[in-house]
Amino acid sequence: MTSGEPLLTVSGLGKSYGPVTALARVDFDLRRGEVHALVGENGAGKSTLSRIIAGITPADTGQMSLAGRRFAPRDRRDAQSCGVRMVMQELNLVGSLTVAEGLFFDCLPHRWGWINYPQLHRQARSLLDRVGLQGLDPGRALGTLGVGQQMMIEIAAGLSRRCDLLILDEPTAALTDAETGHLFAQIAAMKAAGTGILYISHRLEEIRRIADRISVLRDGRKVTCLPSAGVSLDEIVRLMVGRTLDKAAERTPRPPGPVALEVRGLRRGPVVKDVSFDVRRGEILGFAGLMGSGRTETMRALFGADLPDAGTVRLQGSSDPAVIRSPQDAVRQGLALLTENRKEQGLLLPLTVRANITLPSLTRFSGSAGWVRRAAESVEAARWIAALAIRCRGAEQPVAELSGGNQQKVVLAKWLLRDCDVLIFDEPTRGIDVGAKFEIWQLLEDLAAKGKAIVVISSDLPELMALCDRIAVLSAGRLAATFLRGEWTQHAILAAALSGYLTETSQ
């Protein structure tokens, strides 16, 4: 078993969903001991291709061979028994199980049905150590972990079984840099052992770092396959979207307006210890920080989604503190929170684009006795669909059928219609493809130019650096530093993000 020989060969693979072609006659190969990256915008066919290989979705046409033998998995289990595993983008962990149970769910060590917990925990311990989760108790409930740690558990579960071909779909989307480092170390080890890795990601820098070859998909077709050495980011992006993007260019700074939101001494539970900051009208303020640094919790507390223990919030330069005891209070006073999990907390997935956009402003469309004026509602929904270029069949299409980027635009539209002055975005581009990402950035800049105050939380530092006027860094629940545009470097921001944890351990 030498590295370099082909492990998986795919030819003429096609898949259609009704009239929509998801994949059209794609040829593809993966060698042993290779990391092969799959890039493309959402809907380009990356997920369809990988799901076919993993046995989750059957192909319409084409064939595959694995290690020289015909490979036609009936289902995911069948593929797994052939050594093909996929770690899904959407987590499928059971929250009430413990970490150890989740890791070995389909092969719990037992005698006559009674689980052998000491053995299970020993197995889990060694696996967790391997992926760099030394501090994690295998007896902890999965539901109490953060998204990043859950993803690492999911990856660890994939690593623990026989695995010749591992498919990773956006594995680092929710990982911290340290966790990403551990993951890449694991990938390197598996590579050395001859495992072929199919790696799907939107994070092009990361791909350049670990991939041997890159295949670019666009509209269900393979555009090209090229060795990653010597490829520039711009070139990959150009191949993906079929046009050049010069978005990274320096932006002219905007003159900041009056203070729109002033937060002083905000505290909430063990996570938010002391946060103070201001945002001005026409300004984009970024929030950087490691996973668990309290960014999301800070925003939820000031929005009234969770009640803060202490702290004051002042709006629009008022000298009196605003009373925000619930999200209604916040919305009434012009605050909007676009949550990190848009599917769970932002959208009514089975309902129409129209119903989602008008939800916070519905009373505005009501005539006498609370009857909704449907025509006015439809007109307004259509206006926002056009204004934000939301790609959908129309205002009556259920939001669940839209892509991630367009769903995010629906969330944005609902708050713009509500006419909020301060918009807080928590990870606005997570899981969104490159093209839609630039569109969202453009929308944020337009909003700032119109005098809205914008707060953006992001774990993607280049995103914050491209977008923000200032970047605040949270570390262990405290504001560690604030940088102005031009003053920051990636190094300085990371150092600030780590600072709170250093002082904490020394205490």
Partner 1 sequence: MRAANGPPVPLPPRTCRRWASVATDYLGLAAALAGLILVFSLSTQHFFSRTTFLTIANQIPAAVLVATAMTYMLLMAEIDLSVGSVLGLCSCVLGVALTRWHWPLPLAVVAGLATGLACGAFNGGVSLHWRLPSFIVTLGMLEIARGGAHAVTRSQTQYIGAPIAGIAETHALGLSLPFLMAIAVVVIAQGVLTRTVFGRYLVAIGTNEEAVRLSGIDPRPIKLTVFLITGLLVACAAVIDTSRFQSANPNAGSGLELQAIAAAVIGGTSLLGGRGSVVGTLFGVLIIAVLNSGLASVGARDETKRLVTGAVIVAAVILDQVRHRLGKAGAS
Tokens of 507: 């205490």
* Distances in whole angstroms, Cα of residue 9 to Cα of each of 29, 212, 227, 252, 474: 4, 17, 17, 49, 47
Please choose, out of 143-151, 180-188, 311-319, 355-363, the segment that lies near partner 1 by the rule CB under 8 A: 355-363
Q: What is the CB neighbour count within 10 angstroms for residue 436?
A: 22
Question: Does 390 interact with partner 1 (rule: CB under 8 A)?
Answer: no
Please choose, out of 185-193, 253-261, 264-272, 376-384, the segment that lies near partner 1 by the rule CB under 8 A: 376-384
Least separation in angstroms between residue 364's CB and partner 1 is: 8
Question: Does 360 interact with partner 1 (rule: CB under 8 A)?
Answer: yes
Question: Does 307 interact with partner 1 (rule: CB under 8 A)?
Answer: no
Q: Between 10 and 413, name the residue whose CB sits nearer to partner 1.
A: 413
Tokens of 251: 């932006």
Please choose, out of 134-142, 227-235, 397-405, 491-499, the segment that lies near partner 1 by the rule CB under 8 A: 397-405
Q: Between 351 and 502, name the residue whose CB sits nearer to partner 1.
A: 351
Question: Does 326 interact with partner 1 (rule: CB under 8 A)?
Answer: yes
Backbone phi, then psi, for 303, in 5-degree steps? -85, -10
Question: Does 323 interact with partner 1 (rule: CB under 8 A)?
Answer: no
Angle between helices 147-159 and 177-192 (to 10 degrees): 10
Least separation in angstroms between residue 379's CB and partner 1 is: 6
Query: Per-residue x/- mask for partner 1, residues 398 to 417, rule CB under 8 A?
Result: x--x------------x-xx
Question: Does 249 interact with partner 1 (rule: CB under 8 A)?
Answer: no
Query: Per-residue x/- mask for partner 1, residues 16 to 35, rule CB under 8 A?
Result: -xx-x---------------
Question: Does 339 interact with partner 1 (rule: CB under 8 A)?
Answer: yes
Q: Between 159 and 335, name the residue whose CB sits nearer to partner 1.
A: 335
* Distances in whole angstroms, Cα of residue 139 to Cα of each of 125, 145, 175, 219, 342: 10, 12, 22, 44, 30
Q: Which residues of 348-360 are buried (b: 16+ CB within 10 A; e: fewer)?
A: eeeebbbbbbbeb
Question: Does 379 interact with partner 1 (rule: CB under 8 A)?
Answer: yes
Based on the number of CB atoms within 10 Å of its own CB, is 345 exposed (0-12), middle (13-18) or buried (19 or more)? middle
Q: What is the CB neighbour count within 10 angstroms for residue 121?
A: 18
* Distances in whole angstroms, Cα of residue 144 to Cα of each of 15, 41, 129, 147, 376: 38, 32, 19, 9, 44
Q: Which residue has the tokens 């059971």?
A: 94
Helix, strand or coil, per DSSP, at residue 39: strand
Question: Which residues of this protein are in contact with partner 1, per CB under 8 A?
Answer: 17-18, 20, 303, 305, 326-328, 330-332, 337, 339, 344-351, 355, 359-360, 362-366, 369-372, 374-375, 378-380, 382-384, 386-387, 394-398, 401, 414, 416-419
